[in-house]
């Protein structure tokens, strides 16, 4: 037990916990019901200590026979080792087991889109900041009015359509469907949901209820509710780097919002959603997953005071978009890793055949996006938005992502780009610039083709 205690600070990042004061605040907000928080495993309960006699210098003799005590102690040590190994597997970001049957039986969505031709920042770490318009909208001189998306399905299909050449992708059930580019790379994955007949009842419905309650309790200013993605309050947690930060750190929230985030992140349904998306990531982009895990392992070993929002998730940050009408304007999440994946889970009570679709403008795809389902996309590189829902419908979303700045910080020896380049010789700077030019193509090369995945 002592060896395990000594080992964890060296090898493990801090597991998910939340501060006692914040837990108390969350309790007063009625956000931490007993049904939402999974019970602590029995493995974590230490044995009761031997009672100490009131007489100085003496202790009472345990009543249990020595053989029974030794057996109980051995069992506890085995349980502790198993639990420690389980935690290490998650915190050290070991990939979940692959599910080749899902790859073998999939029905892919084929496109002529060329991911390699997409433009990103010169460094290759992040995407390009967009101006709120797709190339198709620019060609027509169209700009979204207001803070909510206005494009509906008739704008893309039918006699009076504004935009031509788009392909409609129907929902074929919860099974996973990859979206392939012109080189047959699986660059986007419609993950559906877990193979659980009670998924909607046991996961989606309580997650939607938790988001609705959080939206009522959260303290988000009007200015923060109106942003480049639309008009809805977001709450974000986790670790990031960029936007003027001197060094990486945890995203900051007020006391009330932090308590709400702790409640959501300790809710079993969101833990399941986070783990499900990570399993999809590892199954459909194993090389990219390895890239994430190797970098994040280095990061969290160095910054032990930081922690990922979910122990069973590969991503370092998450956002809860609290709606109740979360439909995004066209945008790129340019601060994310340019060739990385962002996981988006939709929640709500809207008719997915009429609204809530995900529009991938650069790919000319419109995907049905039912409540309870998850999609993984390279959100920093591809311009995307939603079809708006009806006035009496509700929609929320839960997203997971990692900032490209974190990867750059790690690659530059845990220092800023300015400090890194100052430490280089002229020859090393030239070599670094050459690597930057090739970084995007190398990153795209981490996506696997369907044939490669089926051969694994």
Mean pLDDT in residue range 189-217: 96
Please say if the pLDDT value at position 42 is more than 80.
Answer: no
**Residue in 225, 219, 223, 231 with CA at minimum distance from that of residue 257:** 219
Per-residue confidence band for 129, with pLDDT thresholds at 50, 70 and 90: very high
pLDDT at residue 89, as a whole number: 55
User: Is residue 398 a contact partner of residue 321, using CB atoms and an 8 Å limit?
Assistant: yes
> Does the pLDDT at position 442 exceed 70?
yes
pLDDT at 63: 54
User: In the prediction, which pLDDT does 75 show?
Assistant: 78
Residues 412-419, mean pLDDT to the nearest whole number? 94
Predicted pLDDT at 9: 33
pLDDT tens readout for residues 321-368: 999 999 999 999 999 999 999 999 999 999 999 999 999 999 999 999
Neighbours of 330 (CB within 10 A): 24
Place of tokens 């027509």: 140
Report the pLDDT averaged over residues 376-381: 98
> Quick one: pLDDT band at residue 26, thresholds 50, 70, 90?
very low
Which residue do the tokens 């000594």 mark?
6
Model pLDDT, residue 81: 66
- pLDDT higher for 117 or 143? 117
* pTM score, whole prediction: 0.81
User: Residue 164 has what pLDDT?
Assistant: 94
| Percent of the chain whose pLDDT exceeds 70 | 83
pLDDT band at 15 (very low <50, low <70, confident <90, very high): very low
Counting every residue written for the chain, the total comes to 456
pLDDT class of 64 with cuts at 50, 70, 90 = low
The answer, yes or no, to whether residue 391 has pLDDT greater than 90, is yes
Please give the average per-residue pLDDT across 83-93, as a whole number: 58
- Torsion over CA: 389, 391, 395, 396 (sign): positive
- Flag the least confident range among 67-71, 160-164, 170-174: 67-71
User: Is 100-411 a domain of CATH 3.60.130.30?
Assistant: yes
The pLDDT of 313-321, averaged and rounded, is 97
Residue 35: how many other CB atoms lie within 10 Å = 10
pLDDT (0 to 100) of residue 83: 60
Question: Is 256's pLDDT higher than 70?
Answer: yes
77: confidence class by pLDDT, cuts 50, 70, 90: confident
d(CA 285, CA 289): 6
- What mean pLDDT is reported for the chain? 85
The sign of the dihedral angle between the CA atoms of 250, 255, 260, 266 is positive
Q: What is the model's pLDDT at position 72?
A: 73
| pLDDT exceeds 60 at position 14 | no
pLDDT band (50, 70, 90) for residue 243: confident
Please report the pLDDT score of residue 144 as a whole number: 86
Judge contact between 130 and 332, C-beta under 8 A.
yes
The mean pLDDT value for 283-294 works out to 96
Q: For residues 342 and 402, give the distance between their C-alpha atoms in angstroms, rounded to a whole number.
A: 8
* Burial class, 361, CB count within 10 angstroms (exposed 0-12 / middle 13-18 / buried 19+): buried
Are 176 and 414 contacting, i.e. CB atoms less than 8 angstroms apart?
A: no
Residue spans per domain, the chain: 100-411
Q: Look at residue 292 and tell me whether its pLDDT is greater than 80.
A: yes
**Mean pLDDT over residues 51-65, rounded?**
46
Taking only the tens place, the pLDDT of each residue in 293-312 is 999 999 999 999 998 999 99
With bands split at pLDDT 50, 70 and 90, how would you rate the model's confidence at 11? very low
Q: How confident is the model at residue 276 (pLDDT cuts 50, 70, 90)?
A: very high
Q: Higher-confidence residue: 91 or 214?
A: 214
- Quick one: pLDDT at residue 96? 75
Looking at the predicted structure, is the pLDDT value of residue 403 above 90?
yes
């Amino acid at each position: 037990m002592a060896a395990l205690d000594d080992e964890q600070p060296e090898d493990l990042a801090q597991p998910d916990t939340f501060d006692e004061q914040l837990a108390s605040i969350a309790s007063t907000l009625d956000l931490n019901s007993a049904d939402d928080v999974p019970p602590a495993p029995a493995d974590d309960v230490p044995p009761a200590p031997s009672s100490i006699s009131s007489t100085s210098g003496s202790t009472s003799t345990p009543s249990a026979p020595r053989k029974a005590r030794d057996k109980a102690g051995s069992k506890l040590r085995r349980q502790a080792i198993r639990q420690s190994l389980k935690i290490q597997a998650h915190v050290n970001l070991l990939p979940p087991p692959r599910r080749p049957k899902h790859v073998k039986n999939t029905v892919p969505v084929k496109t002529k889109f060329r991911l390699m031709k997409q433009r990103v920042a010169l460094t290759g770490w992040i995407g390009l900041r967009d101006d709120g318009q797709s190339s198709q909208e620019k060609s027509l001189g169209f700009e979204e009015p207001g803070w909510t998306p206005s494009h509906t399905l008739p704008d893309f299909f039918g006699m009076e359509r504004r935009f031509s050449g788009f392909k409609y992708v129907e929902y074929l059930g919860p099974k996973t469907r990859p979206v392939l580019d012109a080189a047959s790379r699986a660059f986007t994955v419609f993950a559906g949901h877990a193979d659980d007949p009670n998924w909607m009842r046991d996961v989606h419905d309580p997650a939607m209820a938790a988001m609705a309650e959080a939206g009522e309790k959260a303290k988000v200013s009007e200015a923060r509710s109106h942003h480049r993605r639309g008009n809805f309050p977001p709450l974000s947690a986790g670790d990031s780097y960029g936007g003027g930060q001197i060094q990486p750190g945890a995203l900051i929230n007020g006391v009330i919002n932090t308590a709400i985030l702790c409640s959501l992140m300790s809710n079993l349904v969101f833990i399941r959603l986070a783990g499900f998306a990570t399993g999809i990531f590892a199954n459909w982009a194993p090389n990219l997953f390895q890239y994430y895990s190797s970098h994040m392992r280095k990061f969290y070993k160095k910054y032990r005071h930081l922690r990922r929002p979910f122990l069973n998730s590969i991503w370092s940050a998450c956002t809860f978009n609290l709606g109740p009408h979360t439909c995004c304007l066209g945008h790129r999440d340019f601060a994310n890793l340019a060739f990385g994946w962002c996981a988006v889970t939709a929640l709500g009570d809207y008719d997915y055949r009429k609204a809530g679709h995900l529009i991938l403008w650069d790919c000319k795809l419109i995907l049905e996006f039912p409540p309870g389902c998850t999609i993984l996309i390279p959100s920093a590189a591809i311009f995307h938005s939603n079809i708006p829902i009806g006035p009496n419908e509700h929609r929320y979303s839960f997203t997971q992502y990692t900032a490209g700045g974190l990867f750059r910080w790690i690659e530059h020896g845990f220092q800023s780009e300015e400090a890194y380049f100052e430490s280089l010789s002229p020859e090393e700077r030239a070599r670094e610039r050459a690597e930057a030019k090739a970084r995007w193509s190398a990153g795209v090369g981490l996506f696997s083709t369907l044939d490669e995945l089926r051969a694994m």
